[in-house]
Amino acid sequence: MAEPSQKAPVRASAGRSPAQCERIRRAIGNSSASASTRREIERERQRRGFRVVRDTPLTEADLYLDSARPPTLTTDRKHQTCSICLRVKSHPVAYLCGHSHCYVCIRLRLEENWTCPVSSCRQLIRRAPHRHHPEEEGIELDFSDWHQHNHSRVSYDWHGLTFPSPDVYV
């Protein structure tokens, strides 16, 4: 036991010691881990968020339902521009913080990062973004020629992502 004058050891994630965290990391790859360890691993995944480990990285092609892609179009209307690809938003989706991006752009970003890409926001994305119909309709009206030539379709699939629970802070 530590002497009263000594500081307590530095704790890692959620009050766990670095050794406990290492044990959990090793157990993730160990199929013979105990049931309690597997439950602890699952709780940690739910708390921090989890991404399926893929043999090959997710690509843009994986997210479209066919070979059609949206035509490239830029605009000076910031509210209709995706801050990731810098083009008119194609298949816009929105998050709880109110920002929106192209479905394909944010889906690829969520493979690496749980935060909103807007630099002044950086809020943790805790739920799957939802299709942003009003913005889609506005873009359709403002860029009707572009929209008529956009035959691309996306899956709006969030498979492989377990979003972080509300008690996680960045």
Is residue 84 located within the same domain as residue 33? no
Is residue 36 located within the same domain as residue 81? no
Counting the structural domains of the chain, the total is 2
Is residue 140 located within the same domain as residue 85? yes
Per-residue confidence (pLDDT) for residue 4, from 0 to 100? 46
Per-residue confidence (pLDDT) for residue 38, from 0 to 100? 67
Residue 158 falls inside a structural domain? yes
Distance CA 154, CA 63 (A): 6
Is residue 72 located within the same domain as residue 109? yes
Longest Cα–Cα distance of the chain, Å, equals 74
Per-residue confidence (pLDDT) for residue 153, from 0 to 100? 93
Is residue 129 located within the same domain as residue 67? yes
Stretches in the chain below the pLDDT threshold 50:
1-14, 170
Residue 53 falls inside a structural domain? no
Is residue 38 located within the same domain as residue 75? no
Residue 3 falls inside a structural domain? no
Is residue 92 located within the same domain as residue 122? yes
Note whether 94 and 130 are within 8 A (CB): yes
Residue environment code for 27-48, b if the CB has 16+ CB neighbours within 10 A, otherwise e: beeeeebeeebeebbeebeebe
Is residue 33 located within the same domain as residue 65? no
44: containing domain: 13-48
Residue 1 falls inside a structural domain? no
Q: Which of 160, 127, 170, 168 is nearest to 44 (CA)?
A: 168
Count of CB atoms situated within 10 Å of the CB of 101: 26
Q: Which of 79, 99, 80, 97 is nearest to 89 (CA)?
A: 80
- Which H or E run contains 101? strand 100-102
Per-residue confidence (pLDDT) for residue 115, from 0 to 100? 92
Q: Which of 97, 115, 135, 168 is nearest to 106 (CA)?
A: 115
- pTM given for the model: 0.68
> Is residue 128 helix, strand or coil?
coil
* DSSP code of residue 83: T
Is residue 145 located within the same domain as residue 102? yes
Residue 115 falls inside a structural domain? yes
Is residue 66 located within the same domain as residue 25? no
Is residue 138 located within the same domain as residue 67? yes
Is residue 21 located within the same domain as residue 85? no
Residue 167 falls inside a structural domain? no
Tell me: the pLDDT tens digits for 71-94?
Answer: 888 888 999 999 999 999 999 999
CATH code at 84? 3.30.40.10
